[in-house]
A = this chain, B = another copy of it.
Amino acid sequence: MTQRLVKAFLKPLQKEDSLNISGGKRGRITIHEVAAAAAVSISTASKALNDTGRMGAETRERVKRIAGEIGYRPNALARGLLSKRSFTIGLLTNDTYGRFTLPVMAGISDALVDHGVSVFLCAIEDDPALAQIHVDAMLDKQVDGIIATGKRLDRRLPVDLSNLHVPVVYAFTEGTQNSVTFRSDDEQGARLAVEWLAKIGRRRIAHITGPEDFFSVRERAGAYHEVAGHREPVLYGVWSESWGHEAVEKLWKRPGEKPDALFCGNDQIARGAADALRERGVKVPQDVSLIGFDNWEIVAAQTRPPLTTVDMELKELGRQAGLTVLALAEGRPVEPGVRKLPCRLIVRQSCGGRTSDDQGNEI
């Protein structure tokens, strides 16, 4: 007993000295210090702190207490080296504005912070070389998994992630054959919007949307046709306010009856449309109901009147992607395939009809 104590005292002192001499940084408190302070061996200290192994309840408590008192925190590098788990994942994105990435990231982080997982965010523009550098850096750092996200479902990231030795989950962007992909159910979202317009009595619903080569555009347009029929045209264009503006001009210059509702492919288009309508003296929502897509707060909430819009629940999408990549990292089985998450209609004032109590104020 005496001998152990002496030993325990000598050891940490030597340590401190050499560290102090050699470096500017103060030596971190390691499990050695804990063991010494509690007068037990390192192995006992480790087992006490991790609630593993066999030992007296009193010893366990004492070690834990002392560890807390001297502010011990385990070194994740050392731990990771042994356990092969770094409690770290990478988020790869080519969405420069962060409009889609940020909510996804928020969801991931939200889901994983409880598990002690931190997230590397890597924004690769559309640069394959940069992407490769980031992927290599993440792999070197032994990430437990990678989540790939982007601004478009039907565009691959400029780097191949299919043969990595870490699990990969795709969120909001296309994955490879046997991968797990989370995406929003654009069809259901569009149906939600158009059905709402129908329910509040609109009959001439036009659809102003983005470029037809976007998969999500075609899917939304498909759902629109299914619900609204083919009475009004679908106007394909670009994702900008000015296109929304221009599209309204086109529609209102046509001879014949005007639409009584516009379902727009994103909030920016809807905002442009709202402006154009106001300029023409067409009242929203009295004369025309307007619905956007994305629930990009900064656009939707600032439009006059504030936009009813379809929220893709990106945060929830991120949450699920995060939990899935974690499951894979832990070796739990996950079925590959595409999982569609339902969208939600956020009702604001641009629609008229009965105003829901749901005023949508996420993020």
Contacts and interface: CB of A to CB of B under 8 A. Distances in A.
A84 B25 contact: yes
B97 A302 contact: no
Interface in A82-140: 83-88, 90, 96-98, 102, 105-106, 109, 113, 115-116, 118-123, 130, 133-134, 136-140
B333 A1 contact: yes
Interface in A225-280: 240-242, 268, 275
Contact of A298 (B19, B23, B84, B97): B97
Nearest to A21: B331
Given A96-B363, A165-B28, A86 B77 contact: yes
Contacts of A142: 75-77
B123 A85 contact: no
A13 B98 CA distance: 33
A332 B73 CA distance: 27
B330 A8 contact: yes
A120 B123 contact: no
Contact of A122 (B12, B118, B166, B304): B118
Contacts of A102: 97-98, 102
A83 to B, nearest CB: 5
A113 B120 CA distance: 12
Given A73-B136, A77-B141, A85 B12 contact: yes
A337 interface: no
A198 to B, nearest CB: 30
Contacts of A121: 105, 109, 119-121
Contacts of A26: 165
A57 interface: no
Interface in A187-241: 240-241
A142 B142 CA distance: 14
Contacts of A119: 120-121
Nearest to A142: B77
A295 to B, nearest CB: 13
A73 B23 CA distance: 29
Contacts of A136: 73
A53 interface: no
Contacts of A1: 333
B74 A140 contact: yes
A133 B113 contact: yes
A106 B123 contact: yes
A331 B77 contact: no
Given A80-B77, A102-B98, A302-B240, A85 B13 contact: yes
A79 B141 CA distance: 10
Given A77-B80, A85-B12, A165-B25, A19 B331 contact: yes
A1 B96 CA distance: 41
10 contacts: A8-B330, A13-B85, A16-B84, A19-B331, A22-B333, A75-B140, A97-B297, A97-B363, A113-B134, A241-B302
Given A75-B142, A97-B363, 20 more contacts: A1-B333, A8-B331, A12-B115, A12-B330, A14-B83, A15-B83, A18-B331, A24-B331, A25-B166, A75-B140, A76-B140, A76-B142, A77-B77, A81-B81, A90-B118, A96-B106, A109-B122, A109-B123, A113-B137, A119-B121
Nearest 8 A/B pairs, CB to CB: A19-B331, A121-B121, A76-B140, A76-B141, A98-B102, A22-B331, A8-B330, A77-B81
